[in-house]
Amino acid sequence: MLLQKSISLQAYNTFGIDVEANYFANITSIHQLRQIIFKEELKDIPKLILGGGSNILFTGNFEGIVLLNAMKGITLIRETPQEVWLQVAGGEVWHDLVQYCVQKNWGGIENLSLIPGSVGAAPIQNIGAYGVELKDVFISLDALHLPTGQLRTFSKEECQFDYRNSIFKQSLKGQYFIYSVCLCLQKQPVFNTNYGAIQQTLAQLEQAGKERSIATLSEAICQIRSQKLPDPKVIGNSGSFFKNPEVPRSILEAIQKNYPKVPNYPLKDPNKVKLPAAWLIEKCGWKGKVIGNTGTYHKQALVLVNHGNATGKEIYNLSETILQSVKKQFDIELEREVNVIGMN
């Protein structure tokens, strides 16, 4: 069993924050996970499950054990003329799974191309992009309860998926290690192209001779994302730092007095609307700002970046200042999407 001590986590988070964990273990099986969590010296210390580290901000050293999900495997467990069910180990890289399905021409997750991170973390915030969310293809997940070592299967309903949210970010936060996820993909895919710049990019690819297919749609999404978002290998970041707020219509109407064209999206509740956090932050003057080692990305104000040797606290402080300025200007309280470790 590979248990390491005093390990730098810099290579394990996409912000590139240089902090240490007291202990670190690569988890490759349930048996090994149980051995680690019940080891005498480890059983009572804090535990942090880590995938690709692409939705996490470390604000200090982690005084406990980091459990890196390194379980691999994709298994076809059910097939009908219309659909396939895949059982995917939590340590698989999400985009590798997307590519695997694209190659087989199985539809459902191509709009989620190029989202960084692991399959096991995907249910935590019900990952989503370009009009599709994980919950749209989700069947169930298998997880190990860290305090007792017991295994449990969660149905879709039990996961309580919502916009960038699930039970694993709420009442069961940090309790369950997700080691496997079951998804349903379609053999006769339905193309979801009504979002953002998809249609325009698809048209360009089709003009260049590509047929409309799952693969072409995935290529279009990859192109759009690469143009819009910073590559964490080049500039440290964690994608969108805040969620898009859902606000009462009265707040929208107040903003419209000064900004009649404020973008907004209807919600099920007719008295509420969703506003793009990026727009609010941009209107407060934050887009592309550099503050010491930190800042916001010049093409997308919602993405906070590490320009070099930023500490997690510096990035957290910037997020706090942005929160306060949006609150002051628009009376809207933004909520962080990124999981902050060490501030509460």
Ligand X SMILES: Cc1cc2nc3c(=O)[nH]c(=O)nc-3n(C[C@H](O)[C@H](O)[C@H](O)COP(=O)(O)OP(=O)(O)OC[C@H]3O[C@@H](n4cnc5c(N)ncnc54)[C@H](O)[C@@H]3O)c2cc1C
List active site positions.
164, 240, 337
In this complex, which beta carbon is closest to ligand X, that of residue 60 or of residue 249?
60
Residue 55 makes contact with ligand X by CB under 6 A: yes
Asked whether the beta carbons of 27 and 67 are under 8 A apart, the reply is: yes
Least distance to ligand X from the beta carbon of 121, Å? 3
Residue 238 makes contact with ligand X by CB under 6 A: yes
Q: Which of 7, 56, 70, 214 binds ligand X (CB under 6 A)?
A: 56
Which residues within the stretch 314-343 sit at the binding site for ligand X (CB under 6 A)? 339
Instruction: Name residue 245's amino acid.
Output: P
Residue 274 tokens, joined: 């969703």
Q: Which range binds ligand X by CB under 6 A, 115-123, 182-190, 210-218, 304-312?
A: 115-123
Instruction: Tell me, rounded to whole angstroms, the distance of Cα 296 from its chain centroid.
Output: 18
Phi, psi of 71 (to 5 degrees): -80, 135
In this complex, which beta carbon is closest to ligand X, that of residue 172 or of residue 252?
172
Which residues within the stretch 90-109 sit at the binding site for ligand X (CB under 6 A)? 90
Q: Which of 16, 116, 295, 312 binds ligand X (CB under 6 A)?
A: 116
Residue 115 makes contact with ligand X by CB under 6 A: yes
In this complex, which beta carbon is closest to ligand X, that of residue 108 or of residue 232?
232
**CA angle (221, 222, 228) in 5-degree steps:** 90
In this complex, which beta carbon is closest to ligand X, that of residue 115 or of residue 281?
115
DSSP 111: G
Q: Which range binds ligand X by CB under 6 A, 29-37, 46-54, 206-214, 307-315?
A: 46-54
Q: Which of 37, 49, 86, 185 binds ligand X (CB under 6 A)?
A: 49
Beta-carbon contacts of 304 under 8 Å, excluding residues fewer than 6 positions away, are 237, 238, 241, 294, 295, 296, 297, 315, 318, 319, 322
| Distance of alpha carbon 312 from alpha carbon 16, whole angstroms | 9
Question: How many CB atoms are closer than 10 A to CB 77?
Answer: 10
Of 76, 90, 176, 77, give the one whose Cα is nearest residue 134: 90
Residue 9 makes contact with ligand X by CB under 6 A: no
| Distance of alpha carbon 91 from alpha carbon 48, whole angstroms | 15
Residues that bind ligand X (CB under 6 A): 14, 48-56, 69, 90, 115-118, 120-122, 124-125, 127-129, 176-178, 229, 232, 237-239, 339
